[in-house]
Amino acid sequence: MTVGIRDVARAAGVSTATVSRALGRGPVSDALREQVEAAVRATGYRPNLSARRLRSQAARTIGLIVADIRNPFFTAVSRAVEDAAFASGMRVILCNTDEDPAREAMYLRLMEEERVTGVIFAPTRVTLESLDTCPLGFPVVLIDRSGPPGTHDSVVLDNVSAGAALVDHLVARGYARIGGLFGATSTTAQERQAGYAAAMRRHGLALSIRTVAPNAAAGEAEAMRWLADSDRPEALVLSNGLILMGTVRAARNLGLAIPGDLALAGFDNEPWTDLIEPGLTVIEQPVAEIGAQAMQRLFERIASPDQPVRKIILSGRLVVRGSTAQAKRPENRGPN
């Protein structure tokens, strides 16, 4: 059968308590510690983590709940979270919700049953609302998405400013009829939309907003409909990398030149955005820092549960590329 701590104890000629202490931290004489280590090697002993967790009531595990790991933003963040967790001897359980509140609820429940040390969570808007009311058995740090500071720490991008920055940039480049295509399920998209709207109003421009499920297929479909219109916008702001990709596809399908027929500015500085011709102007998010900061928030919250709620707001970086080159305004449109 499988070898347990009592087998090691027997092999080392000591009690199970001594083995446990020798393996963990505990006062054990050097002689016995060596005996135990030899016995562990001899028997090929592997501690049973379930038993260890049950007894010590410390899971040393954090849950990471995101919409979809295939979104490069989340894979990058999750990689940072995992590395930080691993460095602290913690394990990570990764969950995909597909932006589905039912799956979110189910995974939160699972996290309770696992008695996890904490959770890092990018919730949909609907779950975000219920999150403050029902207490969970662990601290939660929200990433990417969060409303007004509530009961949970969060680390997010300065989405309003970022959305506005894209508009300001487009206006500076001579565009006026600027549309916005935003994700429908997250506060993040809402905030970016708010930033877009505020900047447009500030510039005295008319809003033109559509929302869509935040994935490439939906983005492409909606962009196809929108851009087929005769009064399509000159420029489009896209609220995340997947919608941006869908829109690029739609433009190509329709034979629209970028930026000649349509300027594009979006979010998420993914590797492909500077490989296509022309490169895409985007807001780059500090993905690694978001992940690392989230872990740090979590650790601090665990260390001192009663400290005031913190909301960390990180700044994006505008990366200007060819997709927002100077507009050829109608009044001075050249031969080409």
Partner DNA sequence: AACTTTTGTGAAAACGTTTTCAGTCACGGC
Partner DNA sequence: GCCGTGACTGAAAACGTTTTCACAAAAGTT
Residue 154 sits at φ, ψ, to 5 deg, of -155, 155
Q: How far apart are CA 231 and CA 256, in angstroms?
A: 14
Q: What x/- string results for residues 196 through 215 when contact with DNA is judged by CB under 7 A? A: --------------------
Radius of gyration of the chain, Cα coordinates, nearest whole angstrom: 26
Q: Does 42 bind DNA (CB under 7 A)?
A: no
In the shown chain, the binding pattern of residues 46 to 85 toward DNA, with x for contact by CB under 7 A and - for none, equals xxx--xx-xxxxx---------------------------
Task: Render the burial of 139-149: b for 16+ CB within 10 Å, e for the rest.
Answer: bbbbbbbbbee
From the list 96, 174, 300, 320, which residue makes contact with a copy of itself (rule: CB under 8 A)?
96
Gap between the Cα atoms of 142 and 129, Å rounded? 12
Closest approach, Cβ 16 to DNA, in A, equals 5
- Assess whether the previous peptide bond of 278 is cis (omega < 30° from 0): yes
Is 76 near a copy of itself (CB under 8 A)? yes
Binds 174: which of DNA, a copy of itself, none (CB < 5-8 Å by kind): none
Helices 159-172 and 187-202 cross at an angle (nearest 10°) of 40
CB count in 10 Å sphere of residue 225: 11
Nearer to a copy of itself by C-beta: 72 or 101?
72
Return d(Cα 56, Cα 92) in angstroms, integer.
18
CA gap 192, 171 in Å, rounded? 17
Contact call for residue 46 and a copy of itself (CB under 8 A): yes
Torsion of CA 75, 77, 83, 86, to 10 degrees: -90
Under the binding rule (CB under 8 A), the answer on residue 109 touching a copy of itself is: yes
Q: 115 or 210, CB closer to DNA? A: 115
Between 52 and 125, CB nearer to DNA = 52
Nearer to DNA, 52 or 328 (CB): 52
Among 21, 103, 232, 328, binds DNA (CB under 7 A): 21
**Shortest gap between Cβ of 122 and a copy of itself (angstroms)?**
16
User: What type of residue sits at position 6?
Assistant: R
Binding site partner of 331, from DNA, a copy of itself, none, Cβ cut-off 5-8 A by kind: none
Q: Is there binding between residue 54 and a copy of itself (CB under 8 A)?
A: yes
- Strand 235-238 and strand 178-183: the pairing is parallel
Q: Which residues pair with 202 in a beta bridge?
A: none
Task: Please report how close the Cβ of residue 47 comes to DNA at its closest, in angstroms.
Answer: 5
Print the binding letters for residues 122-161 with a copy of itself: x by CB under 8 A, - otherwise: ---------------x------------------------
Cα gap 276→278, rounded to integer Å: 6
What is the strand order of the sheet 61-66 is part of? 91-96, 61-66, 118-121, 140-143, 153-157, 311-314
Nearer to DNA, 52 or 249 (CB): 52
Q: Which of 91, 125, 173, 210 binds a copy of itself (CB under 8 A)?
A: 91
Contacts with DNA, residue ranges (CB under 7 A): 1-2, 4-6, 13-21, 23-24, 26-29, 31-32, 45-48, 51-52, 54-58
